A and B are shown apart, each in its own frame.
Chain A
């Protein structure tokens, strides 16, 4: 099966090279047979990558310990569930996994547009094949996951050997979220290849901007949604496994995943400027280029070890390849832009500073400042070492100080932007749309002060969260009220109806609401506290309204590890509430340790209990308890963001279908009766 996998990868490389070279020839000659054959070669490359990936998984499941990669990342006792995750546990496998996910996207695109967009698709196919060739080069010639295990014999020569058992999977990865977090994040990284390919393809084909945007909207949203889920799942993994009480440490690899998300978010907003007003065409093309480059940079940072990270299990010296590829992509993008930039001319002028257009400009400015600030902090240790010879660390406090004000400004724009009209917003409209939300936000701020809220940024975040949530809810309320007055349906049914008539607009509002919840969760971090104690059986530890009583300690041998478990009774206001079982795990093959945190999570706060291990001083179990307010809002916000994105991807339901049985004469007043800020038309707001 290892030979099969290697062979499939080599064939995939050959097919991708043909798709690339043949694609260029097809663009030049316009020969239909060549166009068809290169498309089919692209699809064949994808199928071969699928086969190679499945064959590696088969090697894991069949415990084939003659393969070096399987030996390094699996063992016989490893649960089947984690044998799937072992695929991306190391560099070779995760690069194959990159190719695998990219192949899914490429195959889907080639199948979806096989009979459409005949002139544009060869360009798109060439770009996609170019990216695939890079990763297949790594898979075949730099970091093959199918290398046989070799060991020097008595004669000094290398001999192929097979081990009885493998080293096992890194304990940090033996957690259910690690089976879904990397696929999500990688799906985000790889997914941005599609809008990149269409943007570059359209630019090379000298299309004046707008078509690639329409074609790739859903692909971009899918990639963005996966990136969002990947980031949040990673944060949750860090929270539940690393045992430090936090979920985001501004680790370089975390930052690397966040950067394309920021520019992708900027793109999803600025793209509306192009669709509605024919503006920012150059900017949108470059935003997609930058997002793709940041995806490659993210993979480079994760794989190269150029910056130290908690994800150190994945490091290697593969960086040079990535630097070359990034340089090549920049060169190609720049050359394509310089050659064809005249086709990206803006079609409109700005009518007023107080307009949706301006809000998008500032939204993009803030997201880009956020991006370059995080990028600067992430790479500053490397730059400082190059320039001064001293490596200067940049930690979480720096990122917090720099990004929190920008984040709050973005939150403010989240509330303001959607309520501003295109072209020009009147003073009357401003008063109508912002009067109540601002008043509600300020009242919430005053109430917070009265109740002792003294953290400035959290206080501002609270006011802004209330303001933004009010604007979103009022938008739904106003639109739904009009529909209810015409249809007689309930307010909730009318709100659903409203959403389905303009899924993009109201799906976007749901995403904004999700972001409000995320900010509420983040604001709670200012009030985190913790305490730690060496505990004997029966000892108590107080934190907030909780009293923790150590009821016992047990050792539980499992198949792949031995768990040391504390039995902790939780009393809330001195009333027994529940039992928590924080664990420390010792993995038999690697002798490494893992932590399983026990969390009592409510909307108000998380009681987060860690069994830190046996105290080196007293040899007693050490319990480290944290009280983290509002964390659950963060995860809930993530779910709402994903839900909103899915809604935004649905096709609009036409009003006439909703009011089936009621003739068009009825439909007309529905639209007429809406406030100026509410539109029910087909299209993109």
Chain B
């Protein structure tokens, strides 16, 4: 470690540590957090904006949202909240009224669960494949590795000839 490193480190620390100071803490908002939270889980059913009811801004509309439909839906959410219903009960009520299309996100049950599970499956299967590849690459004996080894399909000579041909026939 050279002398200049601590100075650079202190300067960098000061620079980056100041980043959080740029962010002011969240303050009061117009709608209750609960209504916005539930409203963000259901879609505005005006069929014109395809946005969550809580954040409907209805691009292209005469009024940049929430549109009348979104406001009505948020009003309904308020009524359900006033009755002391859980988020799940409120979402169920909307699903009965509008069908499964009302969910902004797939519910974590039934066929919709597949959407939630698949990304994790991709990650684990992919990680498994990568680990397998690494293990195979590490264990691979030198004589199996091209260009000298060739493969089941073509001989090493043929592969080498193809490489020479590619070099001959192309220029960078």
Contact = CB atoms under 8 A, between A and B. Distances in A.
Interface stretch (A34-42, A77-85, A99-107, A448-456): A448-456
Contacts of B104: 393, 395-397
B13 A392 contact: no
A453 B20 contact: yes
Contact of B21 (A394, A451, A545, A616): A451
B24 A377 contact: no
A243 B151 CA distance: 59
A67 interface: no
A473 B23 contact: no
Contacts of B163: 207-208
Contact of A469 (B16, B61, B105): B16
A375 to B, nearest CB: 10
A202 B162 CA distance: 11
A532 B63 CA distance: 13
A195 interface: no
A497 B153 CA distance: 48
A362 interface: yes
A495 interface: no
Contact of B140 (A205, A308, A349): A349
Interface string A233-275: 0000000011111100101000000000000000000000000
A342 B159 contact: yes
A393 B101 contact: yes
A171 B60 CA distance: 8
Contacts of A436: 5, 9
Interface string A521-537: 00010010111100000
A241 B59 CA distance: 8
A75 interface: no
B162 A208 contact: yes
User: Which of A353, A443, A610, A630 lies at the interface centre, i.e. has the most chain B CB atoms within 10 A of its CB?
Assistant: A443
Contacts of B105: 393-395, 397-398
Secondary structure at chain A's binding surface: helix, strand, loop or mixed?
mixed
Nearest to B9: A436
Nearest to A531: B30
B145 interface: yes
A376 interface: yes
Interface string B124-149: 00110110011001101010011101
B98 to A, nearest CB: 11
A334 interface: no
Contacts of A215: 170, 172
A361 B130 contact: yes
A427 B104 CA distance: 48
Interface stretch (A52-60, A290-298, A380-388): A380-388
Contacts of B16: 440-441, 444, 465-466, 469-470
Interface in A451-468: 451-453, 462, 465-466
Interface stretch (B48-56, B73-81, B85-93): B48-56
Interface stretch (A314-322, A324-332, A365-373): A365-373
Interface in A63-79: none
A350 B103 contact: no
Given A529-B27, A605-B22, A211 B57 contact: no
A346 interface: yes
B63 A345 contact: no
Contact of B13 (A343, A345, A443): A443
Contacts of A387: 111
B172 A214 contact: yes
Contacts of A604: 22-23
A172 B119 contact: no
A249 B51 contact: yes
B169 A120 contact: yes
Given A372-B122, A474-B8, A207 B50 contact: no
Contacts of B65: 244, 612
A116 B170 contact: yes
Nearest to A624: B64
A577 to B, nearest CB: 16
B111 A392 contact: yes
Chain A contact patch, size range: 35 or more
B70 to A, nearest CB: 12
B82 interface: no
Contacts, number: 272
Nearest to A198: B170
Nearest to A249: B51
A622 B150 CA distance: 73
Contact of A310 (B50, B112, B159): B50
A495 B60 CA distance: 49
A605 B154 contact: no
A211 B169 CA distance: 10
B24 A119 contact: no
Contacts of B102: 393
User: Which of B27, B41, B105, B130 lies at the interface centre, i.e. has the most chain A CB atoms within 10 A of its CB?
Assistant: B105
Given A208-B166, A392-B103, A444-B13, A384 B23 contact: no
B126 A369 contact: yes
Contacts of B118: 372-373, 376
Contact of B170 (A117, A462, A627): A117
A421 interface: no
A392 B9 contact: no
A393 B167 CA distance: 52
Contacts of A205: 166
A134 interface: no
Given A208-B159, A544-B27, A172 B146 contact: no
Contacts of B96: none
A350 B75 CA distance: 61
Given A365-B127, A387-B111, A529-B29, A629 B59 contact: no
B170 A440 contact: no
Interface string A297-323: 000000000001110000000000000
Contacts of A120: 166, 169-170
Nearest to B68: A616
A529 B126 contact: no
A349 B26 contact: no
B169 A369 contact: no
Given A343-B154, A397-B105, A466-B19, A172 B59 contact: yes
Interface of B: 1-2, 4-5, 8-9, 12-13, 16-17, 19-27, 29-30, 40-41, 43, 49-52, 55, 57, 59-65, 68, 99-106, 111-112, 114-116, 118-119, 122-123, 126-127, 129-130, 133-134, 137-138, 140, 142, 145-147, 149-154, 159, 162-163, 165-167, 169-172
22 contacts: A117-B170, A207-B170, A242-B57, A244-B59, A244-B64, A251-B50, A349-B137, A353-B138, A362-B130, A369-B126, A384-B115, A397-B41, A440-B9, A447-B17, A451-B21, A470-B9, A473-B8, A481-B2, A545-B24, A594-B60, A610-B64, A622-B63
Which are the 6 A-B pairs with shortest beta-carbon distances? A342-B153, A244-B57, A350-B137, A613-B63, A395-B104, A345-B146
Given A241-B59, A384-B111, A398-B105, 5 more contacts: A343-B154, A394-B115, A466-B16, A477-B8, A629-B24
